[in-house]
A and B are shown apart, each in its own frame.
Chain A
Amino acid sequence: MAIHEQLKKIILDTLPGVECVIGWGPGQDALHGSPVFMRKPEDVDSFMDTPLGAFGAVNNLALFLPELSGKKVGVVVKGCDSRSIVQLVAEKLIKREEVVIIGFPCEGAADLTKIEKALPEGREAGEVTGAAIVGETLKLSLGSEEISLGLADIKADKCTRCKTPGAVISDAFAGIAGKAPEVRDEYADLAALEAMSLDERFKFWEREMSRCIRCYACRNACPLCVCRDHCVAGSRSPHWITQTDSTRDKLMFQIIHATHLAGRCTGCGECQRACPAGIPVLLLKRTFNRGVAEIFGYDAGMDTEATPPLLTFQVEEAHIKEREWQ
């Protein structure tokens, strides 16, 4: 049985005990998918009923869990999404017993920006009339035109460094979880940024942030952003960010956002995926992630019992030798 059929069966089995099961369904066009909230057995028909199937399951559905806390819900997760759940549980933002986690062996998800870039000059994703995955290629039809793209070329960057293709924690699992691949995140994406001088780097961010339209899609897509209606971005007291249209204020928000996520971010990349202006905001968070891994040996979203290092107070940190006088 295909993975997505197995998943459907698990969802149907799960439905009676939960408010709903969150999964992926069809979106506005052949390429885009959309989250579906399945409450009744017939809702399950639309699950992964898309040309891209599991490859198109891009959204991190853990996003919806904090808001649904208090209700028992099921959620289908890729490995990376499950890390967000682990982190939410570790921070006690959701209760483990309120979530039924359904995992599957993820083979990677699409990066729609990469697909759009691969389309012929002037063509948009909305014009794609048909899509199908055949072996290791994605075949797209734009009217009469046929395009073939290698899956490896249109996979999200995070998938190339993924060490958790199966769910970190799950209550039900479709198929057999493969062995976790031996990958080391070398943070290669940060290298180019760090090769720049401070001045160049600041100019880089000013240039990138100048495109920001302050839609806060980055924030809204982040499963670990918990302030919701009380975000500093909209607050007058404390008045951290002004309402003036300045690049620096826009960058200020990104820096606050990254700081709030330091030691919490699992690198799911939803912020960057959601950005309509294509600003590489994940780089800021990954810079923190690397630092947290180096200093505290902590990788967010791997252990529900772990204490995030920046959400605790210790007089003496194991890895920061403040008091060594030699």
Chain B
Amino acid sequence: MKIGVFICHCGSNIAATVDVLKVVESAKSMPEVVYAVNSMYTCSEPGQQAIEEAIKERGLTGVVVASCTPRMHEPTFRRTVERAGLNRYMFEMANIREHVSWVGKDKAANTAKAVDLVRMAVEKLRLDKVLIPKFIPATRKVLVIGGGVAGIQAALDCAEGGMDVVMVESEPSIGGKMSKLDKTFPTVDCSSCVLGPRMVDVAQNERIELHAYSEIASISGYVGNFDVTIRKKATYVDWDKCTGCGLCTEKCPSKKSYDRFNEGMGETTAINIPFPQAIPKKATITAASCRLLSGGKCGVCAKICTSQAVDYTQKDREITVKVGAVVAATGYDLMDWTVYGEYGAGRYPDVITSLQYERLLSASGPTGGHIRRPSDGREPKEVVFIQCVGSRDPSVGRPYCSGFCCMYTAKQAILTKDHIPDSRSYVFYMDIRSPGKGYDEFTRRAQEEYKAQYIRGRVSTVYPKGDKLVVKGVDTLVGEQVELEADLVVLAVGGEASQNAPKLAEKLRISYDGYGFFMEGHPKLKPVETNTAGVYLAGSCQGLKDIPSSVAQGSAAAAKVLGLLSKDKLESDPQTAGVDVKRCVGCRKCINVCPFGAIREVDMRGQIKAEVIEAVCQGCGLCTATCPQGAVQLSHFTDNQVLAEVEALCQS
């Protein structure tokens, strides 16, 4: 083997704390290294050209680049060596930036460590084998999980691009959180007027197959070929027959059902259509509140229904679909603010969440758009908004900023003044975070034009006094305590990852962070990709974001799906596990640990052996680590390669 080693300066990123020339000199004496050179920016065009030329002129058969993290530029350099005629896997990268120059100041120590890392890469390269990717056929269909604004955008854009779409929504209607909002910032335009038509587009688009009130039961397969089982939850109404006339909802005698759509601000009937613009506009029975389904006698809705759509015997059923890609757009939940004893922990009816307040503001809400206190139905005159409830608060495990609360609070203050001109709004805030287009102007308008009084400080306690609520806090700008008597307290409750996000992530085999938000492939360069091929993200499931950003991500995810499935066949990564049948004793340990179901047991002349399904294998290496006899080896990361690296390190 003839190995060439290229040591990158990365400007001064590496060269400032690593003696690059010394690393070059050391590399020259490493086994099978015939050429070693330094380069100012190896990833630049001249840098890559130098590699190509060296391969051709010196007949290199393998290349090591010592530079930055392979996460970013390994694909770059693989293409480089491939252009020069080498197999792309005859390439190794040593990370002497993130692992060396950026984390240490001692130049001598850094240089020694860089030499070690280069030696390890050389030793691994010496055992590299040529790997050839395979091509697998792909299904040109995409699954969009979640019918909020991000999912809707992704679905419509995919359909526009000629892709068939399967949309799965867990609630009886699509629309997500946006459908619950009254107006949107910073334009104060009607939320349902903006979203409604898009929801209708979803319903009418022939390419989109909508499954509302459904969940993902399981997903197997791999990029291009996912097999999805969708559980359609029992609605007790045959949606093919239901016309959405709403007669049943008028006659249902059980009127005390928790109104999910209205965030519990009102009560609804056991059989209901969540809101007038619902898509699909079909009735669903909440079994727990239904008199008949909970064991009593009733059947009024079945009698009244002119199309005989009500079916009390309906059961959950499962359907399967085959798709080539998945967009997860599962959104967020509000955090459980009742952990805050100081705000009453849910004991006072007139302390409500911002989303409940949206329902009070909405013309289609339980109060018909008139702001009324939940306790006595009186119109509030003094409204206190408390920001950062469950945001930027490490004490409740929510150290992050939810990002959108500053803006919607300003909007709600403006709307309060619009609805009740003689009202006064107070906003307790930590910092006003409004870095979007027209956002800062908007928060200023709330203060200057709509006279919302912004108080920089936290609230220490809220307690009832007569029919009012006393809000005690501090104004840190004045340095004084503040005590206000409020008619209504609105908590700007922060968001958190959906309750079921981790479970879905496991089904999708994608990572999620400590809060349950799905992990993007790269924080800057792969914001909608995940580390699982063919699975993309859109909207707040990746991290909390406002409507414009969610829509942008929906479109971005759609672009990725359209790009991926623009070809009939996909290239599979050959860095997969393989079983040496001579060594395999059929103990099945690899089968048990494989998170992807990529290993099956086969009968070979009466003996049980493990077999890797290459297209399913993601190359995670769990089987390799588990196999006691080393029969399962991961191509490009064999035990021998890892041992050679360890050996190189230990013997230096």
Contacts and interface: CB of A to CB of B under 8 A. Distances in A.
**Which of B592, B593, B595, B640 counts the most A-chain CB atoms under 10 A from its CB?**
B592
B514 interface: yes
A197 interface: no
Contacts of B593: 311-313
Contact of B630 (A226, A238, A313): A238
B349 interface: no
Contacts of A232: 628-630
Given A238-B640, A260-B628, A326-B397, A313 B585 contact: no
Nearest to A237: B640
B592 A311 contact: yes
A311 B629 contact: no
Given A240-B639, A240-B643, A313-B595, A231 B629 contact: yes
B594 A313 contact: yes
Interface string A89-105: 00111000000000000
Interface core residue of B505, B514, B593, B629 (most chain A CB under 10 Å): B629
Contacts of A226: 585, 587, 628
B630 A240 contact: yes
Nearest to A93: B587
Nearest to B640: A238
B434 to A, nearest CB: 28
Nearest to B590: A311
A237 B592 CA distance: 24
A319 interface: no
Contacts of A313: 592-595, 622
B502 A227 contact: no
Contacts of B251: none
A302 to B, nearest CB: 19
A237 B630 CA distance: 8
A14 B638 CA distance: 48
Contact of A228 (B506, B582, B585, B592): B585
B633 interface: yes
B631 A230 contact: yes
Contacts of B629: 227, 230-232, 235
B633 A238 contact: yes
Contacts of B61: none
Contact of A325 (B505, B514, B582, B588): B514
A26 B594 CA distance: 46
A313 B622 CA distance: 9
A184 interface: no
A132 to B, nearest CB: 44
In this complex, the interface size class of chain B, counting residues with CB under 8 Å from chain A, is: 20 to 34
A238 B639 contact: yes
A323 interface: yes
Given A226-B585, A323-B514, A312 B631 contact: no
Nearest to B505: A315
B105 interface: no
A235 B592 contact: no
B588 A315 contact: no
B628 A227 contact: yes
B134 interface: no
Contacts of B594: 313
Interface string B78-107: 000000000000000000000000000000
Nearest to A91: B587
Interface in B51-99: none
Contact of A315 (B506, B514, B587, B639): B506
A238 B638 contact: yes
A239 interface: yes
A323 B511 CA distance: 12
Interface in A309-326: 311-313, 315-316, 323, 325-326
Interface string A22-60: 000000000000000000000000000000000000000
B577 to A, nearest CB: 13
B260 interface: no
Contacts of B515: 325
A313 B626 CA distance: 11
Interface of B: 397, 399, 502, 505-506, 514-515, 582-583, 585, 587-589, 592-595, 622, 626, 628-631, 633, 638-640, 643
Given A226-B587, A313-B595, 19 more contacts: A92-B588, A226-B585, A230-B582, A230-B583, A235-B583, A235-B630, A238-B633, A238-B643, A239-B639, A239-B640, A307-B592, A311-B626, A313-B592, A313-B594, A313-B622, A315-B505, A325-B397, A325-B399, A326-B397
Interface of A: 91-93, 226-228, 230-232, 235, 237-240, 260, 307, 311-313, 315-316, 323, 325-326
30 contacts: A91-B587, A91-B588, A92-B588, A226-B585, A227-B585, A227-B628, A228-B585, A230-B583, A231-B629, A232-B628, A232-B629, A235-B583, A235-B630, A237-B640, A238-B630, A238-B638, A238-B639, A238-B640, A238-B643, A239-B643, A240-B630, A311-B589, A311-B592, A311-B593, A312-B592, A312-B593, A313-B594, A313-B595, A315-B505, A326-B397
Give the 8 A-B CB pairs with smallest separation, nearest first.
A238-B639, A227-B629, A230-B629, A238-B630, A230-B583, A260-B628, A313-B595, A313-B593
